[in-house]
Amino acid sequence: MTQDDHDWDDDSDLEMIGDVPDTAVPLSGLESDLVRKLSSRGIEFLALETEEGEEEGLVFQSHSTFADYRGARSLLPRAAVGLLLEQLENEFFIHPDYIGILSPAIGYAELAVRRGTRRPTTLGLALAFSRDLETESAVCRHAEGAASLPKIPVYRLRPEREIIIHLASEAVCLEISGASPCATVWGFGNRYSGSPDVDLTLKFDFHEQLSTSDMVSEIQTLLSSLMYELDVRNAINIQPLRRLQADALPRRPSASRAKIPLRFPEMSIEPDVATLFNFASAAVDNPTLSYLFYYQVLEYFFPSAVRRSSLKRIKDELSDPLFSKSNTKSLMRILTIAEKSANQTEERQIKTLLEDCVRSDQLLDFFSTSEWGAHFTRKGPIRGVENINVENRDKKLSDQVADRVYQIRNRIVHAKDDIRYDQARALLPQSAEAESLRPDLALMRLLASEVVLHNQS
């Protein structure tokens, strides 16, 4: 889902938090009021968390629209109850693209972020910001302490290590700090006792009321600039967490495979191919990267598929009863086959590979499932690529698949700022389109495994 898919003139298009029944528990008056308010917003109170006989906080479970965090449990310190009630005096919406909340009426937004490098957790991000970092920032109202952005200390037991990175301009403040109470109970603060993660979020304070469309646009602009400068100037890579679309694939292969019994390996696989395939599976949280590594598995076998196809055609020519070694036309046909084999385009090579190695019944079974909905049709979310129609009598199914695979690969690899490519712009990592690639990843996984099967040593 992209920003342009929304009609931002009407806030009713945004998703509000849903309803669950209230739960009666022995709490203070303020806490009971909070439980009722959260219940009407899809946040269920579970219990008082107790450690060594002392009540530490209130445990909630989110039933929000964040697919990644639905059902997540969170721990809200009792000291933060009043701060959360203050936050709930304002109307919050779910951000349309990222895991986060926004309140245009007060110009406030908060997004879940993580480190995008070796340790892709907020713990890694906390460690990155725990270095001695100076900040260049304009003086803002938060410096006076009168309007501090809402947050819960990251380290409850070690307050001296609390992380607050506050950057200000005249129009907006950015802050990376502990998740606010609101983010915590909606699940993406992930604040639960025993969790190895640390609760950091990126907050925006625009100092004024904004329209929803302006706010979403400004957040994207600031986010892009912040990510780039932190990376280039400070060697800190941060990434916002994108919302999964409702029809997105699970991030791992089907659990039904777990029912297949384990066996001693019987296939002989080239080590390079195994490395590429395994990395593609491991990189499934980065759909564009995963796609390219599955593509490299296919690419590995282009030469052998082309050779087999050419050899078959040459054998057919030589077996032709009308073939004559003294006939120039007969010899020219052999030469033409050899020349075409040496000069095949990549687009032609992938068609040759899929026709040679992928069983047609496997493709039909794949596209016959209702799991994909309209993904592979003209109504699908991936623009500028071949649509798949198993009823098409004018074009082989394997050729349709080959064209789609190659076109998506080109959209990922070729990032051209050129009006000529307006219909098939670069398919960028962490975009809504990239998250929508998951059915295509399942297709690539099938194609790669079929090609490996056909070519096993």
Question: What is the reported pLDDT for 260?
Answer: 76
Question: What is the reported pLDDT for 258?
Answer: 54
- Report how far apart, in Å, the C-alpha atoms of 217 and of each of 137, 383, 433 are: 22, 22, 18
* Contacts of the segment 155-162: beta carbons below 8 A, 24+ positions apart: 155/198, 156/77, 161/130
Mean pLDDT by 10 residues, the chain (457 residues): 36 39 64 90 82 68 65 82 92 88 94 70 66 70 71 65 82 90 81 59 92 93 90 83 57 55 83 92 87 95 82 70 73 71 81 92 90 90 92 93 95 68 72 88 94 83
What residue has token string 């059915």?
439
Question: What is the reported pLDDT for 74?
Answer: 82
Q: Which amino acid is at 163?
A: I
Question: What is the reported pLDDT for 157?
Answer: 43
Establish how many alpha carbons lie within 13 A of residue 110's alpha carbon, considering only the half-sphere containing its beta carbon: 25
Q: Where are the domains of the chain?
A: 3-240, 255-455
What residue has token string 């409702």?
246
Question: What is the reported pLDDT for 70?
Answer: 63
> pTM for the whole thing?
0.68
Question: What is the reported pLDDT for 1?
Answer: 34
221 with 150: CB under 8 angstroms? no
81 with 34: CB under 8 angstroms? yes
CA torsion through residues 393, 396, 397, 402, sign: negative
Q: Which of 202, 200, 215, 126 is nearest to 167 (CA)?
A: 202
